[in-house]
Amino acid sequence: MNTLIHDLFYGVAIGDGIGNPLEFIHPTLEMYENASSRPLLISDDTQLTCFLAEELAANGLDADFSKAHIRWFKTQIEREVPRQAEGLLKFIELYEREAPGNTCLSACASLTAGHTVNNDSKGNGTVMRCMPIALYGHLKGWSLEDMVQMARNDAETTHKHPYAAMCSAWLVAFYALLLAKTAMTSAAKQALELAEADDTVSGLILTALNLKTFQQEIYQLSGWVAEEAIAIALGCAFHSPTFEEGIEKAVMINGDSDTVGTIAGAMLVAKGYTPPQKWVELVVANEPIDYVIKLFKES
């Protein structure tokens, strides 16, 4: 189980770190090879994943995700470690500002000021960060229903479009089912029921499970919104025989390479693959990641 915790967090960080310099462009194979062989600088995808994990380890089912997001937001506006910093706020690596999503920034600014978050965003900022809910729930024996509800709660903290919560609910249920050794196709379909997914989201997920339609319809998407990001990542993980191939596919899209890579990295580990040690060693933010891994192991 300790290996699973380690591999899931590093699966996230590796997909994020390789995809980070490739987003906003249509990457070539040479760009991918360069990105996957240099130090892997994480973005808000891994940062928010870590802050969510810290809150879960501290409070379990009583987690207040707004607190996690406010803590992350501090790193994006202060940009240096405060003198009295504690927990994740002690790690300078988390103060890097790597093109964080505008919705996450504006929502966290509202939360910090005590204002109501008001938007209609279905951006992928919810699905990029939610892996720890499934992992922690799996470790603690939570019901799938509890995990799905927590995913919805987290998503609705920052993103108000119904697809934001629906896609996070699907992804957390999917992760949890994979961790419980459910076959990938069955897990994807069961998660649709648990998330009460509508025809649009269900159609994207089912299309991604077929190799031909994945290549023709899903892999051409950009992944900037939640439903596209989870569908692309699913297809990359489902149709890849190795961790390396799944990550390569995920980050070689013409769009949000780091977020799709982040999600695919977690899916590939939940599927049963192990991140290569060469990539684990390239992750720049190993200290804060190891810190949350320790929290999960000890809580």
2-40+125-298 folds as ADP-ribosylglycohydrolase fold (1.10.4080)
pLDDT of residue 77: 92
For residue 223, what are its two tokens?
Answer: 């992944």
The pTM assigned to this predicted structure is 0.97
pLDDT of residue 83 exceeding 90, the answer is: no
Tell me what the mean pLDDT of segment 241-256 comes to: 97
**Per-residue pLDDT tens over the stretch 14-54:** 999 999 999 988 899 999 999 999 999 999 999 999 999 99
pLDDT of residue 262 exceeding 80, the answer is: yes
pLDDT of residue 190: 98
Q: Which segments within 54-190 are labelled E, that is strand?
A: none
pLDDT of residue 228: 98
Contact 163, 225 (CB under 8 A): yes
pLDDT of residue 122 exceeding 90, the answer is: yes
Tell me what the mean pLDDT of segment 225-243 comes to: 98
pLDDT of residue 101: 86
Distance CA 3, CA 1 (A): 5
pLDDT of residue 84: 87
**Per-residue pLDDT tens over the stretch 133-182:** 999 999 999 999 999 999 999 999 999 999 999 999 999 999 999 999 99
**Per-residue pLDDT tens over the stretch 185-221:** 999 999 999 999 999 999 999 999 999 999 999 999 9
Residue 79: pLDDT band by 50, 70, 90 thresholds? Answer: confident
pLDDT of residue 1 exceeding 80, the answer is: no
Distance CA 205, CA 289 (A): 30
Domain boundaries of the chain, sorted by first residue: 2-40+125-298
Residue 80: pLDDT band by 50, 70, 90 thresholds? Answer: confident
**Per-residue pLDDT tens over the stretch 88-115:** 999 999 998 888 889 999 999 999 999 9
Q: What is the mean pLDDT of the chain?
A: 96
Residue 183: pLDDT band by 50, 70, 90 thresholds? Answer: very high
SS3 letters across 55-122: HHHHHHHHCCHHHHHHHHHHHHHHCCCCCCCCHHHHCHHHHCCCCCCHHHHHHHHHHHHCCCCCCCCC
pLDDT of residue 198: 98
Q: What Rg, from alpha-carbon coordinates, does the chain have?
A: 17
